[in-house]
C-alpha cells in the first residue's frame, strides 16, 4: 500500500503523525510525506518527504494571514468568546491556504504523480482531501488532539478549491482521533488511536543528558509555552516562576525556544532553562507541568499522568484544550499572575487531580495502537 501524508507545516501537526508512519513502514507499506518547514520532520523520523513549499512554515502562513487579512488572524489569535472555535480556525486556515496557491497545487500535483492508495491528511488541510478526491482514493484525517473538524465543514469553507479541480469531497473518508474519550468524546465513526509522544531526535548536550538521566531529589516542574507563537503573557509566566522559585521546595525546567531569557538576569539555582528538550523524556521525570494548553503538550502530560497548570491564554484553540483538561479534573486554569509555589504544590498534591491523571494515563495505554489503525487503513484501501 502506498500512503501519502499531507501535513500542515507546523510541529504540533506533524509529531502526532510519526507513530502511524512508523507502523505503516513496519508493516511493509510505502510512506511519502508532502509538506514543508516543520512538516518535513517526518523525514528525520524515517519517512521519505517532498518539500512542496521551501521555507514555508505555519508561523509564516499565520504572519502572511495577519498582513493580508488582519481581521481573520485576529479572530484566530484572540479567539473571541461565543464564536465556535472550529468555525474560527476553519475559516482562518481556508483563508491562509488561499494565500499559498503554489503550495496547495504542489501537494495535489505530488499526489497525482505518486498515485497513493490512501491519503492521510492533517485536520483542516484541504489540499489532501482534494487530492484524494481527484484520485478516487480514501482520505483519512489524522487528528493532533482536541480539534477534528468535519470534512463537510472544510469542504464548504474551501469550496472554491474543490470547484477549481472539479471534485467534491472524497467518497471514502475516515478520521483518526488521538484524544482520550473521557477528556473529549470521540466523534461518531472516528477511529480512536492511543497517543505516543514524539519530540524529534538528535544528540543530547551533556547538561540535557544529565538532566534526563538523573532523578531529581525534589519535585520537578516542567514549564513550557510550546513550539508555536509565544503567548503575549509569556513574560508574566517567566517572572512569576523566577520570582517564586527560591521559595519553592521544587526545581523548575523551563523550555522556551523563542524567548530571550537574558532580560530576566541570573536564574535562581533551582531553575534550569533550555531552548529544546525531548518533552516526553522530560515529563517522565516530572511531578507537574505548567503549559500553554497546546494539544500535544496536554496529551504528553496525560500520557505521563501529570497534574497540569494552564494560564488562561486566548487564541489558537488554547481555551478549548484548557477547558477539556480542567473539566476532566486533570488540572486547573489560572491567571498568569496567580502562578506560584503554593498553587503548584496544591495542584500537584491534590488527590482528585492525581487520581484523574492516573485514570487518563491508563485510558491512553488501553486505546488501539497505531498498528491496529494500519489494519483499518488496509481494509479501507481494499474496498
Residue 89 lies in a domain: yes
Contact by Cβ (8 Å): 135, 112: yes
Closest CA to 155 of 147, 146, 165: 165
Q: Among all chains, which residue has been given the C-alpha cell 516530572?
A: 286
Distance (Å, rounded) from C-alpha 138 to C-alpha 132?
Answer: 6
DSSP state of 162: H
Residue 210 lies in a domain: yes
Tell me what pLDDT residue 311 has: 86
Rounded to 10°, the helix 126-135/101-114 angle is 30
Q: What is the DSSP string of 315-354?
A: STTHHHHHHHHHHTTSEEEE-GGG-SHHHHHHHHH-HHHH
215 and 110 co-located in one domain: no
167 and 262 co-located in one domain: no
**In what helix (H) or strand (E) does residue 30 lie, and over which residues does it extend?**
strand 30-35
Distance (Å, rounded) from C-alpha 142 to C-alpha 271?
Answer: 37
Is residue 327 classed exposed, middle or buried when 0-12, 13-18 and 19+ CB atoms within 10 A define those classes?
exposed
H helix runs in the chain, sequence order: 11-14, 18-26, 41-44, 58-68, 70-78, 85-98, 101-114, 126-135, 151-157, 159-164, 206-213, 234-244, 279-283, 295-303, 318-327, 341-349, 351-366, 370-382
Cα separation values, 245 from 255, 271, 303, Å: 15, 7, 26
Residue 69 lies in a domain: yes
182 and 227 co-located in one domain: no
Q: Among all chains, which residue has been given the C-alpha cell 478520521?
A: 175
Tell me what pLDDT residue 228 has: 54
Domain that holds residue 293: 206-365
151 and 281 co-located in one domain: no
Contact by Cβ (8 Å): 152, 169: yes
93 and 226 co-located in one domain: no
pTM equals 0.91
Name the grid cell of 249.
521546595
CATH at residue 102? 3.40.50.2000
Cα separation values, 237 from 5, 242, 243, 266, Å: 37, 9, 10, 16
Domain count, the chain: 2
Q: What is the residue-level pLDDT of the chain in tens, covering all 383 positions?
A: 999 999 999 888 999 999 999 999 999 999 999 999 999 999 989 999 999 999 999 889 988 998 999 888 887 777 555 567 778 888 888 899 999 999 999 999 999 999 999 999 999 899 999 999 999 999 999 999 888 888 998 899 899 999 999 999 999 999 999 999 999 988 888 999 999 999 888 888 898 999 899 888 889 999 987 655 555 667 777 888 888 888 888 899 988 766 677 777 788 888 988 888 888 899 999 999 999 888 999 999 999 999 999 988 777 778 889 999 999 999 999 988 788 888 888 898 899 999 999 999 999 999 999 999 999 999 999 98
Distance (Å, rounded) from C-alpha 209 to C-alpha 201?
Answer: 13
Cα separation values, 206 from 211, 213, 268, Å: 9, 10, 20
235 and 111 co-located in one domain: no
Closest CA to 59 of 201, 223, 227: 227
Residue 58 lies in a domain: yes
Residue 200 lies in a domain: no
Q: Coil, helix or strand for 251?
A: strand
126 and 220 co-located in one domain: no
63 and 191 co-located in one domain: yes
User: Which residues is 2 bridged to in the sheet?
Assistant: 30
230 and 125 co-located in one domain: no
Name the grid cell of 200.
524529534
288 and 300 co-located in one domain: yes
What phi-psi label fits residue 295: left (phi over 0), alpha (psi between -120 and 50 degrees) or beta? Answer: alpha
Cα separation values, 238 from 77, 175, 188, 322, Å: 21, 38, 41, 19
Residue 96 lies in a domain: yes
Residue 137 lies in a domain: yes
HSE-up of residue 371 (Cα within 13 Å, Cβ side)? 3
Name the grid cell of 206.
551533556
How many CB atoms are located within 10 Å of the residue 1 CB?
A: 17
259 and 356 co-located in one domain: yes
Q: How many residues does the chain have?
A: 383
Rounded to 10°, the helix 85-98/101-114 angle is 90
355 and 375 co-located in one domain: no
Residue 201 lies in a domain: no
Amino acid at each position: 500500500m502506498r500512503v501519502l501524508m499531507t501535513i500542515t507545516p507546523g510541529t504540533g501537526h506533524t509529531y502526532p503523525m510519526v507513530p502511524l508512519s512508523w507502523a505503516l513502514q513496519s508493516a511493509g507499506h510505502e510512506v511519502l510525506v508532502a509538506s514543508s518547514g516543520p512538516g518535513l520532520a517526518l523525514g528525520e523520523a524515517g519517512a521519505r518527504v517532498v518539500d512542496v513549499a521551501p521555507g514555508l512554515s505555519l508561523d509564516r502562513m499565520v504572519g502572511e494571514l495577519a498582513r493580508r487579512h488582519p481581521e481573520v488572524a485576529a479572530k484566530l489569535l484572540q479567539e473571541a468568546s461565543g464564536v465556535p472555535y472550529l468555525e474560527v480556525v476553519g475559516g482562518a486556515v481556508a483563508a491562509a491556504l488561499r494565500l499559498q496557491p503554489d503550495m496547495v497545487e504542489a501537494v495535489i500535483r505530488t499526489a497525482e504523480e505518486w498515485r497513493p492508495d490512501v491519503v492521510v491528511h492533517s485536520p483542516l488541510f484541504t489540499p489532501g482531501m482534494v487530492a484524494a478526491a481527484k484520485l478516487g482514493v480514501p482520505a483519512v484525517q489524522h487528528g493532533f488532539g482536541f480539534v477534528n473538524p468535519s470534512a463537510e465543514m472544510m469542504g464548504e469553507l474551501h469550496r472554491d478549491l474543490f470547484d477549481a479541480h472539479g471534485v467534491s469531497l472524497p467518497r471514502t473518508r475516515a478520521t483518526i482521533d488521538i484524544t482520550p474519550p473521557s477528556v473529549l468524546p470521540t466523534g461518531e465513526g472516528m477511529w480512536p488511536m492511543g497517543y505516543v509522544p514524539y519530540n524529534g531526535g538528535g544528540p543530547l548536550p551533556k547538561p540535557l543528558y544529565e538532566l534526563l538521566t538523573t532523578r531529581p531529589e525534589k519535585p520537578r516542574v516542567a514549564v513550557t509555552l510550546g513550539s508555536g507563537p509565544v503567548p503575549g503573557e509569556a513574560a508574566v509566566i517567566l517572572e512569576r516562576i523566577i520570582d517564586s522559585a527560591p521559595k519553592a521546595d521544587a526545581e523548575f525546567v523551563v523550555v522556551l525556544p523563542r524567548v530571550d531569557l537574558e532580560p530576566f538576569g541570573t536564574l535562581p539555582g533551582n531553575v534550569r532553562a533550555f531552548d529544546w528538550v525531548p518533552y516526553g523524556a522530560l515529563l517522565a521525570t516530572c511531578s507537574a507541568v505548567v503549559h500553554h494548553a497546546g494539544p500535544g503538550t496536554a496529551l504528553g502530560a496525560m500520557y505521563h499522568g501529570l497534574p497540569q497548570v494552564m494560564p488562561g491564554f486566548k487564541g489558537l484553540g488554547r481555551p478549548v484544550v484548557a477547558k477539556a483538561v480542567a473539566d476532566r479534573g486533570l488540572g486547573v486554569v489560572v491567571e498568569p499572575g496567580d502562578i506560584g509555589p503554593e498553587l503548584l504544590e496544591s495542584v500537584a498534591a491534590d488527590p482528585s487531580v492525581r487520581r484523574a491523571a492516573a485514570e487518563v494515563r491508563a485510558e491512553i495505554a488501553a486505546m488501539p495502537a497505531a498498528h491496529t489503525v494500519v489494519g483499518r487503513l488496509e481494509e479501507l484501501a481494499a474496498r
